[in-house]
Amino acid sequence: MKRFIFKPFVLLAIALTVISAYLLGWSQIFTVKAVQVVGSPNALSEGDILKMSQVKIGGQLARINTRSTKENIQEIRWIREVDISRNWIDGKVRISVKAREPIAYFNTEQLQGQTIDSQGELFVLPGFSNPELPVISSATPAGALEANELFTTFPDDFRRSITSMVATTSSSFLLNATLKGRNIKIRWGDSAEMNLKIAAIDRLLALPENKKITVIDLLAPHAPVVR
């Protein structure tokens, strides 16, 4: 029967591997001394990130599974990107996040502060407020994106007059606007013939007989209807 004889360098390699595994996985040398969150909007959301990360002070740096930690943190809807790094010298874990960018408020009657980004993701961004964003209601995120695309192409003066939008379908829109000091509901229809529709609104509101109208129907912009 053969006898296995370990050469000294083999024994040394095994010993170093065992010692390294112990130092990294069980000793108190390479432990988490601090956790830093970068990119969080406020202290409350920072606490949510720390909770979802499950990284604990005193835990082993080597035992942090960066992939699963990222997946846990990305369950927070407003987070777009996550990066995690470990400093083996000072024991600091750095969690860097990037927030999604709201393009409009979306169905806020269902969830206060809910916004939507350019990818159609719905989320509430902690501490976020922007009165210049459109307030859009739609049965689907796709309808909201179409409404926002229309909103962003409006001339500045007209866009500022719009208080909210409803996507009745993905290609038909209802606008609520404040024009000449009056609240006007505009059945806009699709995104075609924008200049013609805006000109029709200006012309109709200038007529003395339309001082009390509250609705302008532009589904047929060459023959608009008022009520």
pLDDT in tens, 36-94: 999 998 888 999 999 999 999 999 998 899 999 999 999 999 999 999 999 999 999 99
Q: CATH says 104-226 is which class?
A: alpha beta
CATH 3.10.20.310 fits 28-99, yes or no: yes
Phi, then psi, of 35 in degrees rounded to 5: -125, 125
Each domain of the chain, given as residue ranges in start order, spans 28-99, 104-226
Q: Can you tell me the distance from the alpha carbon of 213 to that of 174, in angstroms, rounded to the nearest whole number?
A: 16
pLDDT of residue 176: 96
Helix axes 66-73, 43-53, angle to 10 degrees: 140
pLDDT > 50? residue 23: no
- Per DSSP, helices labelled H in the chain are 8-25, 43-53, 66-73, 141-153, 156-161, 194-206
User: Is-contact 59 32, C-beta < 8 A?
Assistant: yes
